[in-house]
Amino acid sequence: MKSRIMDEMRGTAQDLFAAGFIDKRRMDEHEALFRAHQVPQYTAETVKGLRQRLNISQSVLAAIINTSAATVRAWEAGGKKPGGPSCKLLDLLERKGVEALL
């Protein structure tokens, strides 16, 4: 997920680096932070696919990420899309598995 604010902050850090106001080590730290804030978007298909790969029900997925089963159903039906915090949790589930959030 990209945000205009994060893009602006990254651009400012790059400008400061180019002007010599911050060193390479500090710029590398900033880049690591910017990468950590990039979270993929989840579509109906990707939410359902993730849940099926994890072999869990909609209710269990909802409980793991602290939302309602109705919300998960709406995501999978395409009626709603997961927001920022939910995308972050779904990304964590995808990368680390259910155990990471239990």
Predicted TM-score (pTM) of the model is 0.68
pLDDT, average across residues 52-66:
96
1-5, 72-76, 84-88: the lowest-pLDDT one: 1-5
What does the domain layout of the chain look like in residue ranges?
4-36, 44-101
Dihedral (CA of 41, 45, 47, 51) sign: negative
In the chain, which ranges are continuous DSSP H helix? 4-18, 24-36, 44-54, 58-64, 69-77, 84-96
Whether the CA torsion 2, 73, 57, 45 is positive or negative: it is negative
4-27 pLDDT per residue, tens: 887 888 899 999 999 999 999 999
Please tell me whether residue 44 adopts helix, strand or coil conformation: helix
Instruction: Name the CATH code of domain 44-101 (choices 3.10.450.350, 3.40.50.720, 1.10.10.10, 1.10.260.40).
Output: 1.10.260.40
55: three-class secondary structure by DSSP:
coil
Task: Provide the pLDDT for residue 38.
Answer: 75
| pLDDT above 90 coverage of the chain, percent | 68
